[in-house]
Chain A
Amino acid sequence: MPKLKGFNGEDRYNFLLALVGYLGHRGEVSVEEVSAHFELDANYLVKALKSLNDATAQVSGFEEWPFYIDIDLLDEGVVSMTTAEVIDDVPRLSTRQVAALSAGLSYLSSIPEFAANADIKTLIEKVSSGSGLGRSELISIAPGSIEAGAETLRQAILSNRAVSCEYINRKQEKSVREIEPLRIDLTGGVWYLRGYCPINKAVRNFLIEHMRSIQILDREISDVAAKVGEIEDATYVAEATDTEVTVEVTPEAYRLISEFQTISEPKDVGSGTIRTQIKVGHLPNLGRLIAKYGGAARVIEPAEAREVVRNYALSALGAHPHEPDREVE
Chain B
Amino acid sequence: MANEESWKPAKTDKSERLFQLTCVLLYSERGLTKRELFHAVDSYRNDLAKSSEDDYALNKLFDRDKRDLRDMGIQVSNPDPKSDPDDMRYAIAADTFLWPEDVKFDAQELQLLNLAAQVWAQASLSSEANRGLVRLRGLGIEPAASDMLGFAPRLRTHEPSFLPLSQAIEERVEVSFDYRKPEGETSKRTVQPWLLRSIDGQWLVMCWDKDQKAVRNFLLKRIVSKVIFRSVQVNEKDSELVRFESPSPEKVQEAIADLEMHTASQSAKLRIKRDSQAWFHFNLLDEQGKDAEIQISYMDLHLLAEELSEYMHDITVLSPPELSKALRSRFEAVANAHA
Residues of A within 8 A of B (CB): 8-22, 25-26, 37-38, 44, 46-48, 50-51, 55-60, 64, 66, 84, 86-87, 89-105, 107-108, 111, 113, 117, 119-120, 123, 126-127, 129-133, 136-142, 144-145, 148, 154, 157-158, 168, 170, 172, 174, 181-190, 209-210, 212, 231, 233, 250-255, 257-258, 271-272, 288, 290-295, 298-299, 306-307, 309-310, 312-317, 322, 324
Contacts and interface: CB of A to CB of B under 8 A. Distances in A.
Given A51-B7, A58-B39, 5 more contacts: A93-B73, A139-B198, A140-B195, A252-B221, A292-B309
Nearest to A37: B137
A23 B104 CA distance: 17
Contacts of A90: 98-99, 135-136, 138-139
A104 B122 CA distance: 12
Interface string B136-150: 111110100001111
A132 B131 CA distance: 15
B153 A138 contact: no
**What range describes how many residues of B lie at the interface?**
35 or more
B331 interface: yes
A92 B73 contact: yes
Given A107-B119, A185-B152, A316-B312, A86 B132 contact: no
Nearest to B42: A56
A8 B170 contact: no
A142 B198 contact: yes
Contact of B331 (A13, A25, A291): A291
Contacts of B137: 18, 22, 37-38
B180 interface: yes
A142 B200 contact: yes
Contacts of B2: none
Nearest to B195: A140
Most buried by B among A59, A100, A170, A322: A100
A172 B156 contact: no
B331 A186 contact: no
29 contacts: A10-B68, A17-B19, A21-B99, A21-B139, A50-B4, A57-B27, A60-B28, A64-B27, A87-B26, A89-B101, A90-B136, A93-B135, A94-B131, A97-B129, A105-B112, A119-B109, A137-B195, A139-B196, A140-B195, A172-B277, A184-B151, A187-B156, A231-B152, A251-B221, A255-B158, A292-B306, A294-B330, A295-B330, A314-B335
B239 interface: no
Given A96-B128, A322-B313, A298 B121 contact: no
B20 A55 contact: yes
A168 B275 contact: yes
Interface in B235-289: 252, 256, 275-277, 280-281, 283, 286
B99 A92 contact: yes
Contact of B280 (A19, A55, A210, A294): A210
Given A105-B112, A186-B153, A258-B156, A309 B334 contact: yes
Given A14-B134, A91-B97, A310-B338, A103 B155 contact: yes
A56 B116 CA distance: 37
Contacts of A95: 73, 170
- Pick the 3 closest A-B CB pairs, nearest first: A47-B7, A94-B73, A295-B333
Interface of B: 4, 6-10, 13-16, 18-20, 22-24, 26-28, 39-42, 45, 68, 71-75, 96-101, 103, 105, 108-109, 112-113, 115-121, 125-129, 131-140, 142, 147-156, 158-160, 166, 169-170, 180, 195-202, 221-225, 252, 256, 275-277, 280-281, 283, 286, 302, 305-306, 309-310, 312-313, 328-339
A120 B158 CA distance: 26
Contacts of A145: 200
Contacts of B134: 11, 14-15, 18, 38
Contacts of B180: 251-252
B334 A290 contact: yes
Contacts of A144: 200
B15 A12 contact: yes
A16 B15 contact: yes
A8 B11 CA distance: 11
A158 B150 contact: yes
A289 to B, nearest CB: 9
Contacts of A313: 331-332, 334-335, 338
B9 A12 contact: yes
A57 B22 CA distance: 10
B99 A94 contact: no
Contacts of B280: 168, 209-210, 212
B131 A148 contact: no
A13 B72 contact: yes
Contacts of A111: 153
Given A97-B128, A292-B306, A324 B313 contact: yes
Given A89-B99, A254-B159, A141 B153 contact: no
Contacts of B156: 187-188, 258
A299 B135 contact: no
Contacts of A250: 224
Most buried by B among A141, A170, A271, A307: A141
Contacts of B117: 100-101, 104
Nearest to B246: A136
B147 A158 contact: yes
Contacts of B276: 168, 172
A126 B133 CA distance: 14
Contacts of A60: 28
Contacts of B225: 272
Given A86-B27, A94-B73, A306 B140 contact: no
A298 B338 contact: yes
Contact of A132 (B96, B129, B169, B198): B96
